[in-house]
A = this chain, B = another copy of it.
Amino acid sequence: MKKLINTPDTVLADALAGFAAAHPELAVDLDNRVIARGSRPAAPKVAVVSGGGSGHEPLHGGFVGPGMLDAACPGEVFTSPVPDQLLAAARAVHSGAGVVFVVKNYTGDVLNFGLAAELAAEEGIEVRTVLVNDDVAVEDSTWTAGRRGTGATVMVEKAVGALAERGAGLDEVAALGARVNAASRSFAIALTAATVPAAGKPGFDLPEDEIEVGVGIHGEPGRRREALRPARELVAEVVDTVLADHDLTAGDEVIALVNGLGGTPLLELYLVYGEVHARLAERGIRIARNLVGNYVTSLDMAGFSLTLTKAGPELLELWDAPVATAALTWT
């Protein structure tokens, strides 16, 4: 394993200290592992809190700031944060209007956020949870853990953050989050496995000419293994898989995220975006807004995910609203 770390046990603490040093405009609680905005809102507003295992940077800490999250809780690598941490975050940013938890749908996250929500409620902090579960690689069934939350987290956190900033009420903000999630689908392909520091070696072995199709963001293998093919063909498969599960028709507009999994050069991500753009254009679907880059990563995994969120005027307006975070900034 080759990593720029001190010891596997101290990765999170060390990286968080670095994040705090790099972002003096944020309030980073190193003990509780909470990244929060540097200043409290002037008037009560719904606070948006997210979190999840580390190794997905810039998610979620990179999205804390005006217009997006109020706080983020990084767990250990690929391990959801603990309830204490989430409760500390809720306490830190609650300004009287309640808290929305944005939770990617993984058993660990659901359980830990769930326990935290109970504890917060006991303290009189009203909590609503927005579950993100956009990954069409996973069958959606009530008998299983259900679909994973991946790239759509960016769209949900951006939209929910923008609406909260405008002073919308707790239920309204939570309902929007659910709508954005429902309008989003993702699918990912990996060219290499990720190496969890504590594991010390790649999560799976992949021959030089094979890829994993339908991977998540935790280094787990995908739904199947395939031969590596030209980007155009891979993208065609990814786009078609996403569309097959989507309710998009010609004339619809989307926000598209071509997301790097951590080890893929931006040059390739732009190339992929070009293919996505062309494939969608063939089907009459217009990309109204896009992001190309590393946003929801899986440590050093090479590969990409595509997220398409159907976007009407409401969502586009929220998307365009100003945001000022470490990873996403516009005016």
* Contacts from A to B (Cβ < 8 Å): 1-7, 11, 14-22, 54-55, 57-58, 62, 77, 191-192, 208-209, 211, 228, 230-232, 234, 258, 262-275, 277-278, 287, 290, 292, 294, 297, 299-300, 302-304, 324, 329-331
Contact B273 A5 (CB under 8 A): no
6 contacts between A and B (CB under 8 A): A2-B302, A5-B231, A6-B231, A19-B270, A57-B265, A263-B265
Contact A297 B266 (CB under 8 A): yes
Select which of B231, B299, B330 is within 8 A of A329 by beta carbon: B330
Contact A6 B230 (CB under 8 A): yes
Contact A231 B14 (CB under 8 A): yes
Task: Count copies of this chain in the complex.
Answer: 2
Select which of B1, B7, B258 is within 8 A of A230 by beta carbon: B7
Contact B14 A274 (CB under 8 A): yes
The residue in chain B whose Cβ has the minimal distance to the Cβ of A263 is B263
Q: Say whether chain A's binding surface is mostly helix, strand, loop, or mixed.
A: mixed
CA distance A231 to B234 in the complex (A): 36
Contact B2 A228 (CB under 8 A): yes
CA distance A77 to B11 in the complex (A): 34
Contact B21 A277 (CB under 8 A): yes
Contact A15 B300 (CB under 8 A): no
CA distance A265 to B57 in the complex (A): 8
A19-B270, A22-B274, A22-B290 given; 20 more Cβ-contact pairs under 8 Å: A1-B208, A2-B191, A4-B268, A4-B303, A14-B274, A15-B270, A15-B274, A17-B274, A21-B274, A21-B277, A21-B278, A21-B287, A22-B277, A54-B267, A55-B265, A262-B266, A264-B300, A265-B300, A294-B294, A331-B331
